[in-house]
């Protein structure tokens, strides 16, 4: 089951549809209420499952990011997850400094300090709010030790 799930995640990772939602890009108005933009749509058997980010009305929403590779160690996984968040933020026209709210889901509350050591300072001098909780053991998909999502400002 674990294997199946990780294999699904790999399949998902391999099936990026690329960027969708640039239809309004020529309007160049991040505050437009007319439509949402989505980036990095992940599909499962050609059916859209979720987006890597969505953008609307000056806000950017980033999907929960996990780490699914060795080493299964909290600092390494935190580093991967922060990098993934940053990649999505930049793709959506935002940045780490523009993040308003982060949610951190840990696999184990004992990883709290290790996560913090890698996390601190990564969002600039005006960091986002944060909520951190430990979920069920193994409760982050794909055996990741940590999952994070965020809401950010669209650069205007």
Shortest Å distance, C-beta 72 to its own copies = 16
Q: Sheet holding 129-134: strands in order across?
A: 37-39, 53-56, 59-65, 146-153, 99-106, 129-134
Q: Can you tell me the distance from the alpha carbon of 64 to that of 53, in angstroms, rounded to the nearest whole number?
A: 10
Task: Specify whether the CB–CB gap between 38 and 20 falls below 8 A.
Answer: yes
Taking CB under 8 A as the rule, does residue 153 contact its own copies? Answer: yes
Shortest Å distance, C-beta 155 to its own copies = 10
Q: What is the pattern of x (binds its own copies, CB under 8 A) and - over residues 126-145?
A: xxxxxxxxxxxxxxxx----
Applying CB under 8 A, the site for its own copies has a residue count of 71
Shortest Å distance, C-beta 92 to its own copies = 10
Taking CB under 8 A as the rule, does residue 105 contact its own copies? Answer: yes
Taking CB under 8 A as the rule, does residue 110 contact its own copies? Answer: yes
Q: Where are the alpha helices (DSSP H) in the chain?
A: 2-14, 74-91, 112-119
Q: Can you tell me the distance from the alpha carbon of 13 to that of 30, in angstroms, rounded to the nearest whole number?
A: 27
Among 21, 24, 75, 95, binds its own copies (CB under 8 A): 21
Q: Can you tell me the distance from the alpha carbon of 47 to that of 42, in angstroms, rounded to the nearest whole number?
A: 8
Shortest Å distance, C-beta 66 to its own copies = 10
Among 78, 98, 114, 118, binds its own copies (CB under 8 A): 98
Nearer to its own copies, 26 or 45 (CB): 45
The set of residues, in sequence order, having a beta carbon less than 8 Å from that of 80 and lying 6+ positions away, is 67, 69
Q: 31-90: which residues touch its own copies (CB under 8 A)?
A: 31, 33-34, 36-38, 41, 43-45, 47-54, 56-59, 61-64
Q: Which residue has the tokens 């939602």?
A: 21
């Amino acid at each position: 089951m674990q294997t199946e799930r990780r294999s699904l995640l790999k399949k998902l990772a391999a099936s990026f549809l690329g960027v969708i939602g640039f239809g309004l890009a020529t309007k160049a108005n991040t505050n437009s209420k007319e439509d949402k933009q989505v980036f990095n749509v992940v599909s499962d058997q050609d059916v859209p499952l979720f987006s890597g980010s969505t953008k609307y009305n000056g806000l950017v929403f980033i999907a929960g990011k996990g780490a699914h590779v060795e080493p299964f160690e909290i600092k390494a996984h935190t580093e991967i997850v922060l990098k993934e968040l940053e990649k999505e933020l930049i793709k959506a026209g935002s940045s780490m400094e523009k993040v308003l709210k982060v949610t951190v889901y840990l696999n184990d509350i004992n990883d709290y300090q290790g996560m913090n050591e890698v996390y601190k300072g990564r969002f600039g001098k005006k960091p986002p709010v944060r909520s951190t909780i430990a979920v069920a053991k193994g409760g982050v998909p794909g055996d990741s030790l940590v999952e994070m999502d965020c809401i950010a400002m669209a650069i205007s």
